[in-house]
Amino acid sequence: MNGLTKINYSIDYFDELKLELVNGWKDIDSKFIFQTPKYSNIISFNLYEDFDSKFPNTINVIKEIQKIGGMYLRLFIYPPYTRTTFHKDAPQFRYVLPINGNEKYFNYEIIDDNINRLQLDKEFFEIDTEDKLLNFNNKFLENGNKIYNWKPNKSYLIGTNTHAHLNFSNQTRIVIVFDHKGKLF
Q: What per-residue confidence (pLDDT) applies to 93?
A: 87
Q: What per-residue confidence (pLDDT) applies to 9?
A: 56
- pLDDT tens, residue by residue, 31-42: 999 888 777 789
Could you write out the DSSP letters of every residue in the chain? ---B-S----HHHHHHHHHHHHHHGGGS-GGGEEPPPTT---EEEE--TT--TT-HHHHHHHHHHHHTT-EEEEEEEE-TTEEPPSB--SSS-EEEEESS--TTEEEEE-S---S-HHHHHHHHHT--SHHHHHHHHHHHHHTT-EEE-PPTT--EE--SS-EEEEE-SSS-EEEEEEE-SS---
- pLDDT tens, residue by residue, 17-36: 999 999 999 999 999 998 88
CATH of 11-179, one of 3.40.50.10310, 3.30.930.10, 2.60.120.330, 3.40.1280.10: 2.60.120.330
User: Which sequence spans correspond to the domains of the chain?
Assistant: 11-179
- pLDDT tens, residue by residue, 68-95: 888 899 999 999 999 999 988 887 788 9
Say how far apart CA 64 and CA 148 lie, in whole Å: 26
Cα–Cα separations (whole angstroms), residue 165 to 87, 106, 137: 10, 6, 12
> For the whole model, what pTM was predicted?
0.89
Q: Please check whether residue 153 is in contact with residue 96, taking contact to mean a CB–CB distance below 8 angstroms.
A: no
% of residues, the chain, pLDDT over 90:
57
| Mean pLDDT in residue range 102-120 | 91
Q: How would residue 3 be classed by pLDDT, with cut points 50, 70 and 90?
A: very low
